[in-house]
Structure formats: C-alpha cells, structure tokens
Chain A
Amino acid sequence: MSVAVGLDLGSTSIKTIFVKGDRAIWRGVAPTAPGQENVARSLINDGLSACGLTRGDISAVASTGYGKKLFPSADRYIDEISANAAGAFKMSGRQARTIVNIGGQDLKVLFLGSDGRVEDFRMNDKCAAGTGRFFELVARLLDTPLSGFDRLYEAASGDVEINSTCVVFAESEIVSLMARGIKKEDIAGALYASVARRIAGLLGSSSEGGAIYIDGGPAQNRALANALEDELMTEVRVLEAPQYTVAYGATMMLEGGD
C-alpha cells in the first residue's frame, strides 16, 4: 500500500497525517519539543504501526509549518499558507473561499479563488492574542482542560467582556475577573468573544459573503465557530479534523514539486 505522509511542524505541536489517495487513514499529534525531527519520526513510526505498514509503503513525505526544514529527509517543503489552502479547499469540497486558521502562535486569514489558489492572505504579527497559546494560557488560569471549553461557553451569560487584546494584559484581566468572583463560564464566553473580535479585525471587510471555514487546533472547540458567527453574522464552518488541515494539504501538494 502506498501512502503519502504530511508533517506539520508547528510552533506548539507536530501533526502527522497518512493519506492514501485523498483519504486520511491515520492522524497523530505530539507537542513540539527539542529534537523535532525525532518527534516527527516517532509519530511516523506510530502511524506505520497503527496502519500495519512499513517504511517502504511511504511514497513521499511533505513537510510544512514553522519547523518544516527541521525534517531534512522530507521529499518536499511546502509553505504552510499554501498547504492550508490546499487542504481546506479539498476538505470543503472545493467550497472554501475564506479560511481562518488559528495556529499555536499565529492567526491567518486566507482568501482563495474559485480554483483554490491563494489570492491573498493576512497574518497577525508578533502578538499571540487569539492563538492556541492564548487558549492554553486561559485553560491553565481557569484550571479547565480545553476540551471543556465548549461546555463553559454554552453556559456563558455574555455579560462579561475581556477588553485587552494583548495576552499579557488579558491574563491580568482574567485574574482580576476571577478575583471578583466572575464565573468560569462567563470568562470563557468573554474569551471567545474577544478572539472573535480579533479575527474579525484581521478579516476586515474582505470576506465577500459565503461561509467562512476555520481550522487549526483551537477550531476543535465548536465554541470558537459560534462566537465567530455571532461576531461576523455569517455562517462559520469547522473543517473536519481541523488541526490536521495543513498537514493534509501538504500531501495534496506533493505532486508538482518545488
């Protein structure tokens, strides 16, 4: 059996996907740690074991993400914006025109043409507000795993606001809210609303109707899509296995060579 392997060496986690044809047959993730090449190799070995495959079954490896070049034996290095576009376009059934990617340390907005090519994109700069790191920090403050954030958001009253856009100040603001006895649910609600405002700011007025697709780790929580819908007043769709869209897209780009 011949499989393509997509590696997304991101700032907070390394995502690996095995793709046969255009179907994902295995996915694995590990936190980014020193020795990223070894972490990636270990993930690939996990995938081979899980699928009952050998190294000889791997047709090619596509590497993307901030650390893409740290996997020197990749067959192709692909920039993560192009990989994201390719993955989201394919997974949305060629419907996606506007994609919001919430990464570990950055936010990206991609605008695609009807053929799936990237027509334009925007990225936040040094600020980590609204990124995966931001969510992790709040999870620690609230002592609640990220998987529990959907439940918190559902129960939020919507009466509380987080005004700081900077992670550091937002942290102080959240600590202050907790000290005032504000419920976790309301803080989570305020967090999502704040992130949604930030994404809306990055989108600007460029989204020309149609659904907005979101992916990246934090998109695994439906709460983000709901908050974004409330902010943008447009349909927001979460791509399947949103954490892996970029790795998947990298395998889609293996043909064509760099």
Chain B
Amino acid sequence: MTSGVTNARNERIFKKTSDQISSETARVLETLRSRADYTREFDYFLELAESGMTPEAAETRTGLTTIKLLCVQAPLELIHAAGFHPFKVFCGSNAACNLASRGLPALACPMLRSVIGAAKLAQSSSESPWVLPTTCDWVVKFPEMLAISDVAGEPDSIRVHWLELPHLKDRDDGQRRWIEEIYNFKKFLTSDGRRIKRAALAESVAIYRRAWQALVRLSDLRREGRLSSIWFMLMTGVFFCDSPQNWTTAAERAANSQMTPALRGAKVFLAGSPIFFPNFKIPFLLEEAGLEVVSDDLCSSERIFPGSVACGDESEFGLMSAMSQSYHQGCVCPTFIDNDRRINNILGRMKGAGFKGVVFHVLKGCHPYDLESFGIETKLKDRGLKFIRLETDYSGEDSRNLNTRLEAFRQTIRED
C-alpha cells in the first residue's frame, strides 16, 4: 500500500518535472527563434536541442553505441576510432536539478544534479558505459550520487571506466602516467574484441580536426561581432548530439552564410563554470546588460574539445602520444595544480582583442572554479583589467540581482 502511494506520488512529481523541463526548453527555443539575428542556418542546432539531448537520441542519430562522458579529458578521436559515439552528458534544466536535489548534498554541483534529475526521468535505456576522468570531487562521487538517487543500484553496478587524471600535468611522470591511462582506455574500448586500427585512428583525428577548424571559424565570427555568443553556445552545446561530421557540415554552412550581426555591446571574456542548454540565464543576462561575449574558456563552449591533435608522427604511438598530450597538457580545467596556462590563455586572448573585462561564472558548489577565480581576479586586476565574479545556480530567482551587477560592470568598463 505504502509503496503504491509512493509510486503514485513519484509519478506525479516526475510528470510535473517533465512538464517543467519541456517548458524551460520551449521558452529558450522560442526566444532564440524570435531573435533578430536568427537565420535558417541555425535550425539544425535548434532541432538537435529540441529533439532531446540524450545518449539514446544520439545513438539513434548516429547508429552507434555511445560512450557517456563527463568532462573533456577522454580523447574523442580514440572513442570514435573504436566505432563508438562519444557523448558528453550534460543538462541545464533547473527542474531536473530540483528533482535530483532530494537526497543529495545541498551544494552538490548543479550540473550533475541536473544530469541525475534528467536520468531519473528518462529511466535511461542506454546500457553504454561511463568514462569518467578523476577531475573534481563531484565527478569522482558521481556513481555514488547516481546510486543515492536511485538512478542505478550500487555504485559498483554502474559501468564506469575511470581515467585517473594526473593533476600535475607539466611533470614528466604525470605525462607518462596519462599516456598509460590512454592505453588502458584503449584496452577498455576494445575489450569486446573490436580493434582500433591505425588508419581508423588517423581518420578520426582528421574528422575531429575538421570539426575543430569549424569551431575556430565560429569563434572568429563571434570575435568579429558577426555571430552572437548565444548562438555560439547553442552550436557548441549540441556538438555531441550528432556525428561530428554532420555537426561540422552544419557549422561550416552556418559560417559560410550571411549572418545578421550580433547585438553589440561592451566586449567581455567569459570564464568559469560551464553553461548548458537550456540554462542560458547568464548569456541572456549578459546581453540584457549590454555586454557582448566575444571569447570564452568554458568547457561547454570554446573548450568542448582541446583542439586539433597536432601530430607529425602518424604511427599508432605517435597518434596516441599526440592525443594524450592534447587532452592533458592542453587542458586548462581548474582541477589541475599547475594551471598557469589558464590565466595566460585569458590574457593572451584579451591582448589586442579590444576588450577589458572578464566575467567569471561560478556555479554554486563548483569549488575548483570558485577557488581559481580569486587568483585570476588578482592577476587581471594587477594588469588593470576589470573582473566580475557571478556566483549563481540554475534557478532564475537571482536574475535581477545579477542584472544589477552586470549593468554596473558594463559602466565600469565603459568609463575606462
């Protein structure tokens, strides 16, 4: 009897959450479609966002089994060469986040809460494994969080391949251990008897190189003010929902089209925690306050993958080494200890780009970004650059407060 009541209650909660997620998604899509800078070239990306950003949907589109990823350190080329589709699992729904909040620590990462909430609703049919790099504490505890939330049974029952990430990336021993991890990962991918041939790996590297080149073109368009950051974030946000080839073709088509110039504003660099569809609160608020993001270092946006794997040696070892290096040394995730590259990246990209301010987005509970923001703030201010730190979550209730800060921030930039 009790369990019948509980099930009925859960059904109602799930139905309500599901309706709220649909409504959040529809609202953002409607706003995007009614923008002055909307063009038909964005339809492909809008449709991907609309038709479900789940591993199951990606499997249907690509015809491949997915490998579910969190973070950006697992080499996509290797997964692709093994005949899988790499799918970075994410969710920006506040309703999904609230659903998962029951039973999880109050300050758990909103993005992972949202992922868990969406998984609870979906009753995921995908049996594909998770590949989790040991980045932040929340990612390390993710299988436990899934178990606590009744998405999975015991943590041990979830198929996870851990990539143990050496957090000192500039040390030789760290780099050696990482290469070993990548070889272990290859073993994991081929544990069912499939093989990764050198030619397939080289082909995958080429496919992702083309995707990277398309991403660079889009970044350039954004920097030139011809593509607004909102569209850029939508396009990068759906990167994993289809094959890299299809995404690249659509991105190239968009880049070649006659775009309506983006809404102009004071140019800023956006750093910090990732932003996932449909939680476009921060990008919308930035626009509303007259701030134009012309570059970013979010792992949901310009950093969805680390760049083209540069390789002079196309032997299997050469390709594997180049991939390892790119996804480790090239990564500026704040969970690394030796991460000067991140601030240097920001300063380098700001140089000569005509913008003076950095907006640093911190998701409540995202401790590595939170901590790193203080050092970055000091270094930027020492160079006379403006900095604002926005700590927020997926809810909309602090929007007016954030707007007040951003408007004042724009004023401080303009006065300079």
Q: State whether these chains interact.
A: yes
Q: Which residues of B contact A79 (CB under 8 A)?
A: 404, 407-408, 410-411
- Could you mark each residue 309-329 of chain B with 1 if its beta carbon is under 8 Å from any beta carbon of chain A, else 0? 000000000000000000000
Q: Are B398 and A117 in touch, CB under 8 angstroms?
A: no
The 8 A CB mask of B386-416 against A (1 = contact, 0 = none) is 0000011000011011001101101110010
Known: A121-B405, A125-B398, A126-B401. A81 touches B411 (CB 8 A): yes
Is A106 at the interface (CB under 8 A from chain B)?
A: yes
Residues from chain A with a CB closer than 8 A to the CB of B411 are 79, 81-82, 118
Q: How far is the CB of B359 from chain A (nearest CB, A)?
A: 14
Contact A123–B412 (Cβ < 8 Å): no
How far, in whole Å, are A106 and B415 apart by their CA atoms in the complex? 25
Q: Does A66 contact B (CB under 8 A)?
A: yes
In the assembled complex, the Cα of A79 lies from the Cα of B404 at a distance in Å of: 6
- CB pair A123–B401 under 8 Å, yes or no, is yes
Q: Which residues does chain A contribute within 8 Å of B392, judged by CB atoms?
A: 125
* Residues on the B chain within 8 Å of A125, using CB: 391-392, 398, 401
Q: How far is the CA of A252 from the CA of B48 in the complex (A)?
A: 49
Residues of chain A from 60 to 86 with CB closer than 8 A to chain B in the complex: 66, 79-82
B391 contacts across to A, CB distance below 8 A: 125
Q: Are B397 and A81 in contact (CB under 8 A)?
A: no
Contact (Cβ within 8 A) A81 B401: no
Q: Are B412 and A119 in contact, CB atoms less than 8 angstroms apart? A: yes
| Complex CA distance for A79 and B401, rounded to whole angstroms | 11
Contact in complex: A81, B404 (CB < 8 Å) = yes
**How distant is the Cα of A80 from the Cα of B406 in the complex, in angstroms?**
11
Q: Are B412 and A80 in contact (CB under 8 A)?
A: no
**Which B residues are in CB contact (< 8 Å) with A81?**
404-405, 407-408, 411
B408/A126 in contact, CB under 8 A: no
User: Given A66-B400, A106-B401, A125-B391, are A117 and B415 also a contact pair (CB < 8 Å)?
Assistant: yes
Q: How many residues of B contact A (CB 8 A)?
A: 14
CB distance from A143 to the nearest CB of B (A): 31
Chain B 260-299, CB within 8 Å of chain A: the 1/0 string? 0000000000000000000000000000000000000000
The reply to whether B404 and A66 form a contact with Cβ atoms under 8 Å apart is yes
Q: Is A126 within 8 A of B398, CB to CB?
A: yes
A125 and B362 alpha carbons, distance in the complex (Å): 13
Flag A156-194 by CB within 8 Å of B: 1 or 0 each: 000000000000000000000000000000000000000
How many residue pairs between the two chains, A and B, have CB atoms under 8 Å in the bound complex?
39
Contacts of B410 in A (CB 8 A): 79
Q: Is the CB of B408 within 8 A of A118?
A: yes
B172 → chain A, closest Cβ, in Å?
Answer: 40
Least CB separation from B392: chain A residue = A125
A119 CA / B410 CA spacing, docked (Å): 12
Nearest CB to that of A66 among chain B residues? B400
A123 to B410, CA, bound (A): 16
Structural contact, B397 and A82, CB atoms closer than 8 A? no
> Are A117 and B412 in contact, with the CB atoms below 8 A?
yes
CB distance from B94 to the nearest CB of A (A): 14
A119 to B408, CA, bound (A): 10
Q: Mark interface residues in A205-243 (1 if CB within 8 Å of B CB, else 0).
A: 000000000000000000000000000000000000000
Note all chain A residues with C-beta closer than 8 A to B398: 125-126
The residues of B that contact A126 with a CB separation of less than 8 Å are 397-398, 401
How far is it, in angstroms, between the C-alpha of A45 and the C-alpha of B298 when the chains are bound?
50
Q: How many angstroms between the C-alpha atoms of A226 and B412 in the bound complex?
A: 31
CA distance A189 to B391 in the complex (A): 32
What's the minimum C-beta distance from B274 to chain A, rounded to whole angstroms? 20
A106 to B401: give the CA distance in the assembly, Å: 8
Are A80 and B404 also in contact (CB < 8 A) when A117-B415, A118-B411, A118-B412 are? yes
Bound complex: CA A117 to CA B415 (Å): 8
Once the chains are docked, how many angstroms separate the CA of A121 from the CA of B400?
16
Rounded to whole angstroms, the CA-CA distance of A117 and B412 in the bound complex is 8
Closest to A124 in B: B401
A126 to B400, CA, bound (A): 10
A164 to chain B, nearest CB (A): 16
A79 to B266, CA, bound (A): 15
Residue of A nearest to B412 (CB): A118
Residue of B nearest to A253 (CB): B411
Point out which of A79, A120, A126 has the most chain B C-beta atoms below 10 A from its C-beta. Answer: A79
Of all chain A residues, the one with the shortest Cβ separation from B406 is A79
- Give Cα distance in the complex from A79 to B410, angstroms: 10
Q: Which parts of A106-121 form the interface with B (CB within 8 Å)?
A: 106, 117-121
A94 to chain B, nearest CB (A): 16
* B289 closest partner in A (C-beta): A79
How many Å from the CB of A105 to the closest CB on chain B? 8
Complex interface: chain A residues within 8 A of B401 (CB): 106, 123, 125-126
The minimal Cβ–Cβ distance linking B48 to chain A, given in whole angstroms, is: 33
In the bound complex, residues from chain B placing their C-beta under 8 Å from that of A120 are 412
- Residues of B with C-beta under 8 A to A121: 405, 408
Question: Which residues from chain A contact B415 at a C-beta distance below 8 Å?
Answer: 117-118
Chain B residues, Cβ within 8 Å of A118 = 408, 411-412, 415
Q: How far is the CB of B134 from chain A (nearest CB, A)?
A: 30
Contact with B along A122-134 (1 / 0, CB 8 A): 0101100000000
Q: How far does the Cβ of A253 sit from chain B's closest Cβ, in whole Å?
A: 9
**Can you pick out 15 interface pairs between chain A and chain B where the beta carbons lie within 8 Å of each other?**
A66-B404, A79-B404, A79-B407, A79-B411, A81-B404, A81-B405, A106-B404, A118-B408, A118-B412, A118-B415, A119-B412, A121-B408, A123-B401, A126-B397, A126-B398
Closest 8 CB pairs of A and B: A81-B408, A79-B407, A82-B411, A79-B408, A117-B415, A126-B398, A118-B412, A66-B400
Besides A79-B407, A118-B415, 14 other CB < 8 A contacts? Answer: A80-B408, A81-B404, A81-B405, A81-B407, A81-B408, A81-B411, A82-B411, A117-B415, A118-B412, A121-B405, A123-B401, A123-B405, A125-B391, A126-B401
